[in-house]
Amino acid sequence: MAQAPKEIEQLIDLMARLPGLGPRSARRAVLMLLKKRVQVMAPLARVMASVAENARDCQICGNISGAEVCTICSDDRRATGEICVIEDVADLWAMERGQVFKGRYHILGGTLSALDAIGPDDLRIPALVARVKDEGTREVILALNATVDGQTTAHYIAEALEGSGVSITSLAQGVPIGGELDYLDDGTIGAALRARRQF
């Protein structure tokens, strides 16, 4: 006995693969799409097909864009000699929302992880080393997540770049803007205290 036409079941199965949606909420989402076939479903399918077709990984930094070289890498004003090393495209978007960094990026595509058997060659670390040499980069800013894997990766990169003469920095650790001490973990308070500054 068919619960829903085969193609709709297939759509539900695919939607259920999205993070944040399970089988039940995927069903609910598809029902909503079926009710708004013209207003939402058709445009969504169109834009999704277009992105799936046109999106490319930037050859230089690994950012996702519509061309072989992304808008940031092809913008001469951003050739500041600074490269910000990040894990993921999401981190690039987060940095850009901050509107402070004016240089270029290098997306690793993950972090080193012994557990998941991810080594330096699975990430874009060799490309980073080559890039630093070729572009005569002045400063590499390690903006990796403050997790064990993130910090392991940062140390590995710092070693790999040793002797290239580039200055290697990392994001400051401390109390987040608007943060209340009472809600902060001990590690953050400790880091903020150790890195205290003249007021």
Torsion (CA) 124, 128, 134, 138 in degrees, nearest 10 = 160
- Tell the smallest beta-carbon distance from residue 192 to its own copies (Å): 26
- Tell the smallest beta-carbon distance from residue 183 to its own copies (Å): 20
- Cβ closest to its own copies, residue 99 vs residue 198: 99
- Cβ closest to its own copies, residue 2 vs residue 172: 2
Distance of CA 162 to the CA centre of its chain: 25
Q: What residues make contact with its own copies under the rule CB under 8 A? A: 1-5, 7-8, 10-11, 14-15, 17-21, 25, 27-29, 31-34, 37-38, 40-55, 64-66, 71, 88-90, 93, 96-97, 99
- Tell me the Cα Rg of the chain: 22
Specify whether the CB–CB gap between 63 and 73 falls below 8 A: yes
- Cβ closest to its own copies, residue 53 vs residue 185: 53
- Tell the smallest beta-carbon distance from residue 198 to its own copies (Å): 32
- Cβ closest to its own copies, residue 71 vs residue 164: 71
Q: Which amino acid, 106?
A: H
Specify whether the CB–CB gap between 72 and 63 falls below 8 A: yes
**Distance between CA 147 and CA 143 in Å, rounded?**
11
